[in-house]
Structure 1
Amino acid sequence: MKLTTQAYCKMVLHGAKYPHCAVNGLLVAERPPAPRPPQPALFVDCIPLFHGTLALAPMLEVALTLGLWQWILVNFKLSVQLFSVALAAGSDYEKINPVSRKTYRKKMILELIFYLVTLSFWYRKDSLFPLLFQIDSWCKENSYVIAGYYQANERVKDASPNQVAEKVASRIAEGFTDTALIMVDNTKFTMECVEPAIHVYELHENKWRCKDPHVDFCEDWTEAQRIAASLLDSKSYETLVDFDNHLDDIRNDWTNPEINKAVLHLC
């Protein structure tokens, strides 16, 4: 696998903005055409998600069972249609025998409760449903696929993946064969970006194993080093937006177009 300069720089900036916190995010790759032979994945961008205690990370692992939110939406639409038909057919309801009518009422009440609960989760500030909906739509628009996960731990000298990181990455690996789990190494953070501040893990025999640290995982490390150092020097990390920032104010764009432009300008 390889990382583009943009993907690498945004991971570094995310960690630099919150040096006192744990941070995490997703990595995306271009969706390969179906008939194309397998090739090493190129991670073209990253999506900064959270900073802090990463309390939502376990929920992310569950929500990344792609189809969870889709299943809810499909069922919601279907039930609304069925409920509308049932209301329109009020006269037919009277023809149902009392036993079936009682079962029917219970079923409709349970469905309404379920969807009210679902909607309450949707509109919660910490809900992952809007997050995944936005990410999925953005990926489809750009022909991307969620292909990896990155995390920086709260403790400076801790660069090992914890159980949460491994579970989230494993969930992603169910839908992408060349998934990478990247741990940001806080001890390698310098303004000059002398060496890559990441450790890359791959899934081997159902276990996440660290790849050779001497392998160059950047598409162009010389370029990535120069641009990352320049962005740190200009304090571009102050403008980086993760999904926590977006939830605080939806005007904050989690795709970070300004940073993308800065990287392109420095290339």
Structure 2
Amino acid sequence: MGSGEVRYVIAQNAYIKLILHAIKHKTSAVNGILLGRFSSSSDTDPLVEITDSVPLFHSQIGLLPPLEIALNMTEEFYSAQGLSIVGYFHANERFDDFELSNVAKNIGDQIHRYFPQSALLLLDNKKLEALPKSKERSPVMQLYSRDASRWKLLGSGDGSSSRFTTKEPTANILLLDYISSEKWNDIVDFDDHLDDISKDWVNADLFSK
């Protein structure tokens, strides 16, 4: 029997895509949407499997109309693949800011209304910076979940919480390879797409280039 606590597992490409988006726009707050599936049985802990992600904004991050357009397009596209919106990703503008902003909480709340087990991931810049030396395998993100009143920190994947892990143990190794080759230049987010609709917000070919 499981403990009943929801576990979160993020696929390698979904994880790397979000971090590259944050690196591309280092001087701005950025955000993204998590896509995946929820499964639950009496024999195992409930599981949210994050299989893909969509980088959203780097300039219009707090504006509601672009957000609604992005959420509607994301939901329509991924529902055809059997995936749902299961969470939200946020990276703060300041390197040393580890607090959830009101924007992050508000967007997280909106997703939580439709998916109560939703995850809110916040980029941990210090862990990301230390990655080349630390050889850390755990996600360089902090995991928050919401109870009846607020978002609370569950862990950052560093062993203090096994409830949030990467699906592939090599995710950070590959991430470092992409950082060294400046792969972030290929990332397209919704801001880019709204400026030029020919740009692919799904980033379908990102990892095949």
| TM-score calculated relative to the size of structure 2 | 0.82
| 3-state DSSP of counterpart to 2:178 | helix
**Counterpart position of 2:52:** 45
Equivalent-residue separation in structure 2 for 1:4 and 1:47 (angstroms): 13
Q: Is the 8 A contact 1:147 1:179 kept in 2?
A: yes
Deviation at 1:185, TM superposition (A): 1.6
Equivalent of 1:144 in 83, 87, 90: 83
The structure where strand makes up a greater share of residues is 2
The one of the two structures with greater contact order (alpha-carbon pairs below 8 A, sep at least 6) is 1
Equivalent of 1:4 in 8, 11, 14: 11
| 3-state DSSP of counterpart to 2:206 | helix
Equivalent-residue separation in structure 2 for 1:254 and 1:163 (angstroms): 25
Q: Is the 8 A contact 2:60 2:66 kept in 1?
A: no
Cα distance 1:205–1:131, how it changes in 2: closer, same or farther (>3 A)? closer
The reply on whether 1:187 has 2:187 as its aligned counterpart is: no
Deviation at 1:24, TM superposition (A): 0.5
Share of identical aligned residues, percent? 29
Larger radius of gyration: 1
**Counterpart position of 1:100:** none
The residue type equivalent to 2:128 in the other structure is: F
**Counterpart position of 1:198:** 141
**Counterpart position of 2:101:** 162
Deviation at 1:129, TM superposition (A): 5.0
Deviation at 1:246, TM superposition (A): 0.6
Equivalent-residue separation in structure 2 for 1:220 and 1:140 (angstroms): 22
Deviation at 1:13, TM superposition (A): 0.4
**Counterpart position of 1:132:** 71
Deviation at 1:230, TM superposition (A): 1.2
Deviation at 1:128, TM superposition (A): 4.4
Cα distance 1:31–1:253, how it changes in 2: closer, same or farther (>3 A)? farther
| 3-state DSSP of counterpart to 2:71 | helix
Gaps of 5+ in 1: 60-125, 263-267
| 3-state DSSP of counterpart to 1:187 | helix
| 3-state DSSP of counterpart to 1:158 | coil
**Counterpart position of 1:113:** none
| 3-state DSSP of counterpart to 2:58 | strand
The residue type equivalent to 2:16 in the other structure is: C
Task: List aligned pairs for 1:86-235, cutoff 5 A.
Answer: 127-190=66-129, 192=132, 194-195=135-136, 196-213=139-156, 214=159, 215-216=161-162, 217-220=164-167, 222-235=169-182
Cα distance 1:127–1:23, how it changes in 2: closer, same or farther (>3 A)? closer
Deviation at 1:171, TM superposition (A): 1.5
Q: Is the 8 A contact 1:31 1:144 kept in 2?
A: no
Equivalent of 1:250 in 184, 190, 197: 197
Deviation at 1:260, TM superposition (A): 3.9
Q: Is the 8 A contact 1:27 1:149 kept in 2?
A: yes
Deviation at 1:53, TM superposition (A): 6.0
| TM-score calculated relative to the size of structure 1 | 0.65
Equivalent-residue separation in structure 2 for 1:128 and 1:261 (angstroms): 28
Once the two structures are superposed, what CA deviation does each residue of 1:145-172 show, in whole Å capped at 9, x if it has no partner? Answer: 1110111111110021112211211221
Q: Is the 8 A contact 2:37 2:86 kept in 1?
A: no
Once the two structures are superposed, what CA deviation does each residue of 1:212-239 show, in whole Å capped at 9, x if it has no partner? Answer: 3333523345311111111111111000
Equivalent-residue separation in structure 2 for 1:194 and 1:53 (angstroms): 34
The residue type equivalent to 1:226 in the other structure is: I
Equivalent-residue separation in structure 2 for 1:149 and 1:157 (angstroms): 20
Cα distance 1:255–1:151, how it changes in 2: closer, same or farther (>3 A)? same
Equivalent-residue separation in structure 2 for 1:44 and 1:50 (angstroms): 20
